[in-house]
Every structure is written in C-alpha cells, then in structure tokens.
Structure 1
C-alpha cells in the first residue's frame, strides 16, 4: 500500500483533509496562474517602460536640438556681446578723444583770447563792452590796426641803426670834441668798432651815398622816407648801397668808420623832417610795443595832418 501524506486543515466550519497529491496540484495551478499573471504584468510594464523610454529618447533628441539651438543662440549672443563691447570701447575712446580735443580747444580759446587781449592792449584798441566782437572780428580789427601801424613804422624812422650800441653824445648843444667850441649837435653818436653793420631805420630811397667833402661827415648816406622824413648816416667806413636805390627797413646799408672830422670810430645818426633836425632819441626808442609814445614825445611834427592823410585807429595821435 502506498504511503500518503494526509494534511488536515481545521476551521470553524469543520475539518478537511488533503493528500499531498492534491496539494501539489493546487500549488502547481497557483504557480502557473501567478506565472501567467506575472508574465502579463511584466509584458505590460515592459511595453509601458519601452514607450516611456521611447518618449524619453524623443525628449532627449528634442533637448539636444534645443541645446544645440540654444548653444548657437548663445554663441550669437556672445558674438554680438563682443561686437558691442568693441563698439563701446571704440565709442568710449572716441568720446575721450573728443573730450580731450574739447579741452584743448577750450585752452586754445583761452590762449587766443589772452593773445587778443595782449595785442589789443599793445595796439591800444579798447573793445566795446556793449557790443562784444567775435574772435574773428577782433582778429580782423587787429590785422587792420597792425597793418596801419606797420606801414607807419616802415615809413617813419624808428629803432636803432646799430644793434646794441650805446649813445656817447646826444642831440643839442655841446662842446665840439675837436674845435672845443659850443655848437649844435644835430644827431646822436653811436661809438662802435670799425666795420660794425649799419641798418636803415625805415623804408626809403637813397638820396646820397658817398664822400661828403668839406662837411666833416666823411662817407655819408642820406635816405629819403615818407611824410617828409630823412635820415643821415655819417663817418662810414663802407657804403653798401648806391644813390637812387630803394632800401627797406632793416637793410644793411654800410659799416661804422671814422671818416671825416672824428676822434674815433662811431656812427653819427640824424633824423630830419622837412630839413628840420629832430632829436633821434625818441625815434630810436619808438616801436610797435609803444606806438603812441612818438606822438607825445615829438611835438614838432603835425601828427594831426598825418592822421588825416592816413587814418590811425583809436590809439592814434590826439
């Protein structure tokens, strides 16, 4: 007889007995059922997971495309940012240059205004506070005044005929160094070494150039100038111009000597107006920086008539 294992299960409803064979059948059936259920559940989860993975893959592709697009946009932004930075740097540099140029122009305007004020002061021009002129108008007025004054300074003797020389004998009465008698000295004497250059003190024409015998002048140059003025240069060693020649102010006309009645080498210099000898000293001091000086220092000249012939500016003779 086969041995069977009998399992008795007791519940409130009673007791049941199962043999092992029956239990095994149940367990196998249950296992198969669970296996089938697990298979279907696993397949379902697998399908869902695969779909989910496919979705994730698509999202990954979309994200990668968006990333590439964003990266390109970022690079474009970076390029634009670099261009903007370069443009800003260039603009800032141009702004700095313009500010620097503006500052330099302001300084130049200040210097120009100071120069104009100085020139107006030198030329005796008094700007009108009621009607202030522009720098261009002030410059034009200064040019006109300067041309007028330069014309007179080139027409009327002024400055020194010998550079750096001192005066040894002035204009007026004196004891003559040779005759020892009191006599009129019609010029001023500049003692200088023989050969020292002598320059014309105004534009003019050579009236005389040569030895003046019997006068004591020795070698003499006489220049005719505008408005009736003449200048005399006596006791010369050399004469470098000829009679009838035109000369300009500052031109070399001769050299210092000791010809004629002299005790030593020097230049005897005279200024005459309509044959009347004038003291050359005020004319030697006269120049652009003290233009008004001559009109008060020399009273023997009818300056008012000169003003009528060639109108001066506001600082002209009164």
Structure 2
C-alpha cells in the first residue's frame, strides 16, 4: 500500500483532510497562473515603457527643435537689438546735428528778417510762417531791385560832376546837369543797373551824348549811358541787371573820357544818387527820399500785392 502524506485541518465546523499531492498540485497551478500573469503584465509594462520611451524621445526631439528655434530667435533678437542700438545712436547724432542746423537756420533767418525789416513780426509766428513770409518779402525786394535802377553802372575812379545846375565845361554857361559823370578810362565796362529792354543803341546826332545806350525798365524808368567808346547791345534786345552793355569813352560833346549816367521816370530826369545808394540793406530809403514818384500805387501791382502768411 502506497504511503500518502495527509494534512488534517480542524476548524469549528469540523475537520478536513488534504492530501499533500493535491496541495502541491494547487501550489503548482497557482505558481503557473502567477507566472503567466507576471509574464503578461511584464510584457505589457515593457511595451508601455517602450511606447513611453518613444514618446519621451519624440518630446525630447521636439523640445530640442524648439530650443534651437528659441536659440536662433534669441540670437536674431540680440542682433536686432544691436541694430536698433546703432540706429538709435545714429538718430541721436542726426537729431543733434539737426538741432545745430536749426539753430544756425534760426540765426540766419533772424538775420534775413532783420535785413528785410521783418524782425518785429516773427515772434508770434511759427518757423514755417516766418520762412514763408521771408521768402515772399525777399522775392518782392529782389523783383524791385531788378526792376528799378540801383547801384553804380561803372567801376570809376571818381565822380566829376553830380546832378544839378553847373557851369557847362564846353558851353561856358550855367546849365542843368541831368545825371552823374563818372571819370573812367576808355574801354572801362559799363553795366545795366536794372533789367530792361534797349530802347536806343548807337550814335545820337545833335544831342552831345555821342554813342548812347537808353534802357527802358519797369514802372516807367529809363537809364541813359552816354559818351561811350563802344556799344555792345542792339536796340530791341533785352538786358539783365549787371549785364555789360558798353565801354566808356569820350564820344560826343565831352572834354575827357568819362561815363554820363542818367535816371529818368516818364522822361523826367531824376537825381541818380538815391538810386545809386539804394539796396537791400536800406530798401525803404528810396521810397522816402524820392518824393516825385507815387510809390503808394505800386502796392496794387502783381507780384507786389501777394501777401505772406498773416
């Protein structure tokens, strides 16, 4: 008879016998079940871990790409900051230069306003208005200075005879002298004292002027240039202020080389002296010293009636 190991379990409900081979069988079955469960769980955990590792690796790569992108952006940002700094430095330099130029311009504008007689009108106006007003005033003055005779017509050694009554050097009697006589060598250039048109250019018989140039100017003015050696312009042509129109000489009724210069308004001779002294620095002087001309009517003429900013 085979021997069997028997375990007896006694409880309050009674006794129960368990054979050892049955216990071993149950233990083996449980072990196999646990091993199988452990195998499947381990494989599941391994697969899940691998998936997590793959996901982590992808996340790492994505983070690395983002880091590189951020690094590049940071470098670009730093570069842009550097460029911006340079631009700001350049702008600051330009601003300082502009302030200096504005100060110089303001000084120049004040000087121009003073010369134009506008210095007492600029305090209540903007810089743009002051510049515009100065431009209008300058254009008006330049137009007048190009239209009405002013300055001297020749670089002369001296003035021999002025405007007024005198003892005529040839006729030997007192006679009205309608102009200025400038002592000058033959061939000295003679210049137009204003823009105009040549009314006469040539030898004037019976006048005593000899070779003569007569220029018509704006507002009814004329200038006469007499006793010339040579005439350089033709009748009917236009001339500009400062243009060389003749060479001084001794033609006609004359005792020596000189230039006889006259200023006339509507055929009436005027004293050339105020016109010779007139310029931008004393622009208003002519309109007060020469009283025989109705200057007030000029204000209605274009472009003199173009007012600047109020």
Regarding TM over 0.5, the answer is yes
In the alignment, structure 2 segments of 5+ residues that lack a partner are 1-67
- Residue 235 of structure 1 and its aligned partner are, at CA, apart by 0.4
Alignment of 1:1-318 (within 5 A): 90-125=83-118, 126-127=120-121, 129=123, 132-163=124-155, 166-310=158-302, 311=304
Call closer, same or farther: CA 1:309–1:165 in 2, change over 3 Å.
Answer: farther
Q: How far apart in 2 are the matches of 1:79 and 1:299?
A: 84
TM-score (norm 2): 0.69
Q: Using the TM superposition, give the Cα deviation of residue 309 of structure 1 relative to its aligned residue in structure 2, in angstroms.
A: 3.4
Query: Take 2:140 and 2:157, find their aligned partners in 1: how far apart are those partners?
Result: 29
1:164 shift after superposition:
5.8
1:312, 1:168 → 2: CA distance? Answer: 40
**In structure 1, what is the Cα distance between the partners aligned to 2:298 and 2:74?**
76
Please state how far the C-alpha of 1:81 moved relative to its aligned partner: 8.9
TM (normalized to structure 1)?
Answer: 0.68
Q: Structure 1: how far apart are the matches of 2:69 and 2:215?
A: 87
Aligned-residue offset at 1:208: 1.2
Aligned residues of 1:189 and 1:268 also touching (Cα < 8 A):
yes
Name the residue aligned to 1:40: none
Contact 2:278–2:285, Cα closer than 8 Å, also in 1: yes
Give the Cα–Cα distance (whole angstroms) in 2 for the partners of residues 164 and 173 of structure 1. 22
Quote the Cα distance in structure 2 between the aligned partners of 1:226 and 1:76. 78
Deviation at 1:237, TM superposition (A): 0.7
* Cα distance in 2 between the residues matched to 1:177 and 1:85: 92
Structure 1 residue ranges without an equivalent (≥5): 1-74
Could you tell me how far 1:135 is from its partner in structure 2?
2.3
Greater Rg, structure 1 or structure 2? 1
Q: Counterpart of 1:25?
A: none
1:165, CA displacement in angstroms?
5.1
SS at match of 1:167: strand
> Could you tell me whether the CA contact under 8 Å between 2:199 and 2:235 is conserved in 1?
yes
Which one is further off, 170-179 or 303-312? 303-312
- Corresponding residue number in structure 2 for 1:44: none
